Amino acid sequence: MKALLLAAGFGTRLRPLTERVPKCLVEIRGRPLLGWWFELLFAPDAVERALVNTHYLPEPVRAFVATSPWRERVELVHEDVLLGTGGTVLKNRAFFGDEPFLVAHADNLTLFDATAFLARHRGRPAGTAITMMTFDTDVPQSCGIVEEDESGRVVAFHEKVANPPGTRANAAVYLFEPEVVAFIAGLGREIVDLSTEVLPHYLGRMCTYHNALYHRDIGTLESLAAAEREFPATAPAVLRAAGGR
């Protein structure tokens, strides 16, 4: 399996920290977010290769990847103009080939069993093309809250509403079938947003995988401080104890 790690954002809510450091390199427990992602995906060999897109402050990202022990399995692609999350998928469709692939916002901090995530996708309900990772959030008003049926199909989606009907949230980590890329291409635009233009089309054709280990959007200085307190410094060992490889 291949993966796209979306890492091109400005991280405006983390200023002044992100005036010098791209959001995907903000450190938790002494390691950049992107480093945690590489460890999570590559150490169990769940992912063969990863593509990382850049835009804002690309040089530090290039330097980090160049010195990473996983550098031979990482490709970088720069966007002079941001294409949106769906536009980045479309632009790099040749990288994914004709197999399911993972798409993740690499400026989130997470801990999950990538092999179990893929197994859920392979055993997903008939007729579904996307598996969305979910988590339980403590700030549901700032997240996309999902409603599911008994089989785990997403039947409703509430994007950052004042009174959401629950706390089960979209973690912005997905497994896509190739048909999703074909749908994006059919929109006929280079700039496409996954959350507003793709996911709504797949309501009823998208299932969930729940992350009960750890997930946090590192979107503010407060959430960054919370992650520093909460996230286990021995995260790979915690994952193995929970059943991951």
Taking the model in full, what pTM does it have?
Answer: 0.89
**pLDDT 10s digits, 50-69:** 999 999 889 999 999 999 99
- Residue 213 CB coordination number (10 Å): 17
Of the ranges 170-184, 190-204, 216-230, which one carries the lowest mean pLDDT score? Answer: 216-230
Place of tokens 């950052």: 160
**Kind and range of the H or E run holding 139:** none
**pLDDT 10s digits, 208-223:** 999 999 998 887 888 8
Under the banding of pLDDT at 50, 70 and 90, the label for residue 90 is very high
User: Can you tell me the distance from the alpha carbon of 206 to that of 124, in angstroms, rounded to the nearest whole number?
Assistant: 9
Average pLDDT over residues 19-31: 87
- Residue 39 CB coordination number (10 Å): 18
Domain chopping of the chain, boundaries: 2-111+123-132+172-202+214-241
CATH superfamily of 2-111+123-132+172-202+214-241: Spore Coat Polysaccharide Biosynthesis Protein SpsA; Chain A (3.90.550.10)
